[in-house]
């Protein structure tokens, strides 16, 4: 029997509010992320994923790429706020 607790989105949101993303990430940082929500399924402009152990929301502008859910993408962080960050896709890895 598994005792692993899956966090609800409300629990994750509360936990994320307790940390400041600016302590973990800086503009210019590059990461490899998996796209969770494509731009078409979000607002038409940005994809969405979560990064780090606190599952920080990361909005990814496609730049010159087309982003699809499940793709591994190298991104460059462009802006960091206390509870979210923005990045630009540099290239699709797979």
- The domain that holds 30 is classified in CATH as 2.40.50.140
Distance CA 4, CA 22 (A): 29
| 88 within a domain of the structure (yes/no) | yes
**pLDDT (tens digit, 9 = 90+) per residue, 2-32?**
455 555 666 655 555 567 888 889 999 999 9
Tally of structural domains, the chain: 1
Identify whether 2 is part of a domain.
no
> Is residue 47 a part of any domain in this protein?
yes
Rounded Cα distance between 93 and 23, Å, is 27
Instruction: Give residue 20's domain range.
Output: 9-92
Residue 1 resides in a domain: no
Which pLDDT does position 32 carry in this prediction? 97
Q: What is the mean pLDDT of the chain?
A: 86
Q: Domain for residue 4, yes or no?
A: no
Here the tokens at position 18 are: 């307790």
The pTM (predicted TM-score) of the whole model is 0.78
Task: Report pLDDT for 4.
Answer: 55
């Amino acid at each position: 029997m598994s005792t692993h607790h899956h966090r609800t989105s409300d629990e994750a949101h509360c936990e994320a509010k307790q940390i400041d993303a600016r302590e973990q990430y800086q503009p210019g940082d590059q990461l490899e992320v998996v796209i969770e929500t494509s731009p078409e399924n979000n607002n038409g402009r940005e994809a969405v994923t979560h990064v780090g152990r606190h599952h920080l929301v990361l909005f990814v502008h496609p730049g010159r790429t087309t982003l699809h859910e499940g793709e591994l993408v190298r991104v460059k962080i462009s802006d960091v706020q206390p509870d979210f960050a923005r990045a630009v896709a540099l290239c699709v890895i797979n």
